[in-house]
A and B are shown apart, each in its own frame.
Chain A
Amino acid sequence: MDLLLGAVVLGVLLGCFYAAVSVGLSVSFGLLDVPHVAHPAFLVLASYGVYQLNESYDIDPLLAGLAITPLFFLFGLLAYRVYYETFEKRGSDAAVRGIAFFFGIAFIIEVLIILHFGVDQRSVSATYIGKSWRFGEFRIPIRQLVAFAVALGLTVLLAVYLSKTFMGRAIRAVAQDEEALRLMGANPVRIKQFAFGIATAVLGIAGALLIIVAPVEPTLDRAYIGRTFCVVVMAGLGSISGTLIAAIILGVAESIVLTMFGASWAPAISFAMLLGVLAVRPQGLLGR
């Protein structure tokens, strides 16, 4: 029983972390409808950026994540620009080629990381990594608590930004009715580009959390395709509060399966849940 309780607690911590890595996709795919398969590849790329800063200048991983955030924002602006000019503007079979486009980008990032850093696992060093708190039977690694706190803060911050600020509301408006916004004199493309920039910028911090939680390797993005899309689809497209709930469900499910059946089944869980949701309730748990 204690084992199960421990699994649930760790699952909730893990789930909040999953929310942080998925929340950007919830904006880019959920709200803006961009088939962003390269989201997890950008995430892993951010982790390697954090690793590099930590390794060369001994900067705290979280600060390093914050430092690369502006870079990722620009990255996002550029990526959306290219996507818009080549696919969205032309219409017709844009979706098919758009998916292939991001799939190609993901692969290019993966290979560039391999060529530069090699295939070995990389990890960061910080004072809170390696220690853990003991609660009776089970222990909680402090690295997971740090990731949990920051992830929760990040997700809530983004949710507040999207619902309370002017720009955030504009982003939600453009997702709902682009034409109406255009008629009101706003430029939907610029709003979407800005939103995509935000969605990518968030990955700076999320990438730091990824490498804080566990060592990273270049092909890690493949496992996160399942996790991030599972969370976003389960949440109901574009729902930020749903993202948090869906992510916690995934985290707990993974943690329990891991405890009961062992690690060899772990990669399939998020994908199996995703398939289940797509087959049974494609509008997501909290979808309209």
Chain B
Amino acid sequence: MTKHRHTIAFWAGVVVFLVAVLSMTQIVRNEYPFFAGYVILQFIALAVAWSILGGYAGYVNFGTNAFFGVGVYTAVALFKATGAPLVVQIAVAAVVGMALGFGVGLLTLRMRGIFFSIATIALAIIIETFVMNWRFVGGAAGIQIQRPPVMAPFDSYVKMLFFVQALLAVTAVAIARYIQNSRIGRGLQALRDDELAAECTGVPTLKLKLVACMISGALISAAGAPAAMYLQYADPSSAFNLSYSVSALAMALIGGTAHWIGPVLGAILLGSTQQLLAVTISSEVNVLVLGIMLVLFVVGAPKGIIGLLRPRYRLRAGGKP
């Protein structure tokens, strides 16, 4: 019964959040909050999507930037070729991200630990190199994007993107939450704790990992699709920037990966800290703070913020092997 009540509470929260976001776009005049908010929402989507494979299954994916960049460039190529609207760009980016997730999964998910992680960096760099040599989307120099006219009820494109990214973040959270409570999530957690034992007890480990990799990839690519419109510009070295990988991984680990709320907390905390620091100090200091927080949490608080907030949880999940 409580599970049912949790679900109702969750969706009520989602509706309240989206209504709040929508009314904010109608009331607030200043554009800056939306500009900053967009980035935080994007990080929520990335961190949550990362944790589906990285957190639940324990496969440390360094290739968030590959999926993100593929999302960006799917949108760019589609927009340039057909002038497709944002919704179509996002949908196609999600499909391409899912296909990429399938390919990456098939190639790499049999590798363990560091081999998998390094393989994901490798894929990111290989894809980036292809995009750099792809003339149609501007090659290494990048490409300028003209925003189409904004749709009602929004009066500026940034506000619209803010709302769209809020929808994407909510979608990512809802899917992560669903997976966590489903058989898929329990299977992933089982293989995370002991892959061999899970396989022996009949958990279809490779299939589950593939599904996780596809969903995670689709969500990351979808979150990346509006980025070209947001910046009005796309170039390979920013779209495939390794800092997306560090951010997603750091935010998820700092928040805690045992529960979907962890990455959300991590992304809100670090994302807003970074927005503040970027304005007040510099973007290098941002990355420094991110790196130091990551190292401190990984060493000192392995279960992340939710582990600190819920000590009883640590007993249940960490405990004796």
Chain A residues close to B by CB (< 8 Å): 29, 35, 37, 82, 86, 91-93, 95-97, 99-101, 103-105, 107-108, 110-112, 114-115, 222, 225-226, 229, 233, 264-265, 267-268, 271-272, 274-275, 278-279, 282
Stretch from B7-15, B200-208, B289-297 that touches the partner: B289-297
Find chain A residues with CB under 8 A from B129 CB. Answer: 264-265, 267-268
Asked if B107 and A275 make an inter-chain contact with CB atoms under 8 angstroms apart, the answer reads yes
How far in angstroms is the closest Cβ of chain A from B216?
Answer: 16
Find chain A residues with CB under 8 A from B122 CB. Answer: 226, 271-272, 274-275
Knowing A97-B298, A100-B253, A104-B250, the reply to whether A278 touches B290 (Cβ < 8 A) is no
Query: B299: CB under 8 A from chain A?
Result: yes
Contact of A271 among B125, B133, B299 (CB under 8 A): B125
Find chain A residues with CB under 8 A from B140 CB. Answer: 264
Contact of B121 among A97, A101, A226, A233 (CB under 8 A): A226
Instruction: Report the count of interface residues on B (CB-CB < 8 A).
Output: 42
Knowing A86-B299, A105-B295, A282-B115, the reply to whether A100 touches B60 (Cβ < 8 A) is yes
| Docked CA distance A200–B216 (Å) | 36
Asked if A101 and B113 make an inter-chain contact with CB atoms under 8 angstroms apart, the answer reads no
Query: B58: CB under 8 A from chain A?
Result: yes
Asked if A100 and B113 make an inter-chain contact with CB atoms under 8 angstroms apart, the answer reads no
Give 1 or 0 for each of B93-115: 1 = CB within 8 Å of chain A CB.
00000000000000110010111
Find chain A residues with CB under 8 A from B114 CB. Answer: 29, 35, 37, 95, 99
Q: What are some 20 contacts across the A-B interface (CB < 8 A)?
A: A91-B321, A93-B302, A96-B113, A99-B113, A103-B246, A104-B291, A104-B294, A107-B246, A108-B288, A108-B295, A111-B288, A115-B288, A226-B122, A226-B125, A265-B133, A268-B130, A271-B122, A272-B126, A274-B122, A282-B111
Find chain A residues with CB under 8 A from B192 CB. Answer: 93
Query: B117: CB under 8 A from chain A?
Result: yes
How far in angstroms is the closest Cβ of chain B from A104?
Answer: 4
Query: B73: CB under 8 A from chain A?
Result: no
Find chain A residues with CB under 8 A from B78 CB. Answer: none
Give the residue among B125, B250, B288, B302 with the most A Cβ atoms within 10 A: B125
| Docked CA distance A2–B111 (Å) | 41
Query: B36: CB under 8 A from chain A?
Result: no
How far in angstroms is the closest Cβ of chain B from A253?
Answer: 14
Give 1 or 0 for each of B210-245: 1 = CB within 8 Å of chain A CB.
000000000000000000000000000000001000
Find chain A residues with CB under 8 A from B250 CB. Answer: 100, 104
How far in angstroms is the closest Cβ of chain A from B286?
Answer: 9
Give 1 or 0 for each of B275-306: 1 = CB within 8 Å of chain A CB.
00000000011011011101100110010000
Asked if B291 and A107 make an inter-chain contact with CB atoms under 8 angstroms apart, the answer reads yes
Find chain A residues with CB under 8 A from B292 CB. Answer: 104, 108
Query: B86: CB under 8 A from chain A?
Result: no
Query: B123: CB under 8 A from chain A?
Result: yes
Find chain B residues with CB under 8 A from A114 CB. Answer: 284
Residue of A nearest to B59 (CB): A96
| Docked CA distance A268–B132 (Å) | 11
| Docked CA distance A82–B300 (Å) | 11
| Docked CA distance A275–B60 (Å) | 16
Asked if B294 and A264 make an inter-chain contact with CB atoms under 8 angstroms apart, the answer reads no
How far in angstroms is the closest Cβ of chain A from B293?
Answer: 8
How far in angstroms is the closest Cβ of chain B from A107?
Answer: 4
Contact of B126 among A82, A99, A100, A275 (CB under 8 A): A275
Asked if A82 and B299 make an inter-chain contact with CB atoms under 8 angstroms apart, the answer reads yes
Find chain A residues with CB under 8 A from B133 CB. Answer: 264-265
Query: B118: CB under 8 A from chain A?
Result: yes
How far in angstroms is the closest Cβ of chain A from B63?
Answer: 11
Give chain B interface residues in 102-157, CB to chain A under 8 Å.
107-108, 111, 113-115, 117-119, 121-123, 125-126, 128-130, 132-133, 140
| Docked CA distance A96–B191 (Å) | 13
Find chain B residues with CB under 8 A from A99 CB. Answer: 60, 113-114, 117
How far in angstroms is the closest Cβ of chain B from A223?
Answer: 8
Identify the 7 closest CB pairs spanning chains A and B, nearest first. A271-B122, A268-B129, A104-B294, A35-B114, A107-B291, A104-B295, A108-B291
| Docked CA distance A86–B299 (Å) | 6
Asked if B113 and A35 make an inter-chain contact with CB atoms under 8 angstroms apart, the answer reads yes
Asked if A111 and B287 make an inter-chain contact with CB atoms under 8 angstroms apart, the answer reads yes
Residue of A nearest to B237 (CB): A219
| Docked CA distance A108–B62 (Å) | 16
Asked if B107 and A225 make an inter-chain contact with CB atoms under 8 angstroms apart, the answer reads no
Contact of B111 among A91, A103, A272, A278 (CB under 8 A): A278
| Docked CA distance A264–B111 (Å) | 29
Asked if A95 and B249 make an inter-chain contact with CB atoms under 8 angstroms apart, the answer reads no
Find chain A residues with CB under 8 A from B299 CB. Answer: 82, 86, 101
How far in angstroms is the closest Cβ of chain A from B295?
Answer: 4
| Docked CA distance A166–B294 (Å) | 39
| Docked CA distance A63–B192 (Å) | 48
Knowing A108-B288, A268-B129, A274-B118, the reply to whether A222 touches B242 (Cβ < 8 A) is yes
